[in-house]
Chains A and B, each alone.
Chain A
Amino acid sequence: NAGVMQNPRHLVRRRGQEARLRCSPMKGHSHVYWYRQLPEEGLKFMVYLQKENIIDESGMPKERFSAEFPKEGPSILRIQQVVRGDSAAYFCASSPDGQDGEQYFGPGTRLTVT
């Protein structure tokens, strides 16, 4: 059973460009979470999605960030007009349901904004 997959693993963008981060949850998991980790910091929750629904986006910046989890295909975290402060590791996690503290994390996407 393949784990959570994220791509790309590394992404370099210039300021003002768009970044698209993809996450394929574990087979059978319908709950996806996105987290951001700044250097020397713990992970910060961003958004929680189920298929075609955003359940909780309380950790998402109000502007430039969006997330989706379509009926078919991976979950996408989109960052528009990136700035240097967006440079971080972005982790996706999945779980079979939303009632368990056990989440399965992907390897992360390291975004560098130059």
Chain B
Amino acid sequence: LAKTTQPISMDSYEGQEVNITCSHNNIATNDYITWYQQFPSQGPRFIIQGYKTKVTNEVASLFIPADRKSSTLSLPRVSLSDTAVYYCLVGDTIGYSTLTFGKGTMLLVSP
């Protein structure tokens, strides 16, 4: 499984756009990139998944450059409730998928 590297923590203010970058230099051809969000004392929640270029949903955008060695999760206009840990995962979804979580990025949004 490709190893991922992301910042341990980030700080932001309400209303700002937040970009969290994840490095995955050894990503394989069949690997997808998936981001999860986890609030304290809760299970992770799926945010977004992509393979290449840009993916957007109602919550976030995911930018993946052509070489796919990194990806950036973009959260538009964050609010206090976006304070959470964000995990970047890389894995092969062909066959079956057992997710491998790192330590994630702790995002703290302040007023």
| Residues of A participating in the B interface, judged by any CB pair closer than 8 Å | 4, 31, 33, 35, 40-45, 48, 55-56, 58-59, 89, 91, 93, 95, 98-108, 110
B81 CB–A CB distance under 8 Å: no
Whole-angstrom CA separation of A4 from B42 in the bound complex: 12
Q: Which of B16-24, B43-51, B61-69 contacts A (4 or more CB under 8 A)?
A: B43-51
Q: B45 to chain A: which residues have CB within 8 Å?
A: 105
Chain B 73-111 interface 0/1 with A at a Cβ cutoff of 8 Å (1 = within): 000000000000001010101111111111110000000
Whole-angstrom CA separation of A41 from B87 in the bound complex: 11
Whole-angstrom CA separation of A91 from B44 in the bound complex: 9
Q: B96 to chain A: which residues have CB within 8 Å?
A: 31, 48, 55-56, 98-99
Q: B46 to chain A: which residues have CB within 8 Å?
A: 102-104
Whole-angstrom CA separation of A105 from B36 in the bound complex: 11
B contacts with A: majority SS: loop
Which residue of B44, B95, B102 contacts A105 across the interface (Cβ within 8 Å)?
B44
Q: Looking across the interface, which residue of chain B has its beta carbon closest to that of A101?
A: B34
Q: A101 to chain B: which residues have CB within 8 Å?
A: 32, 34, 49, 89, 91, 93, 97, 99
Whole-angstrom CA separation of A102 from B47 in the bound complex: 9
Q: A42-B87, A44-B101, A101-B89 are in contact. Are A107 and B43 (CB under 8 A)?
A: yes
B29 CB–A CB distance under 8 Å: no
Among B41, B99, B103, the most chain A Cβ lie within 10 Å of the Cβ of B99
Whole-angstrom CA separation of A103 from B87 in the bound complex: 13
Q: Looking across the interface, which residue of chain B has its beta carbon closest to that of A9?
A: B41
Q: Looking across the interface, which residue of chain A has its beta carbon closest to that of B47?
A: A102
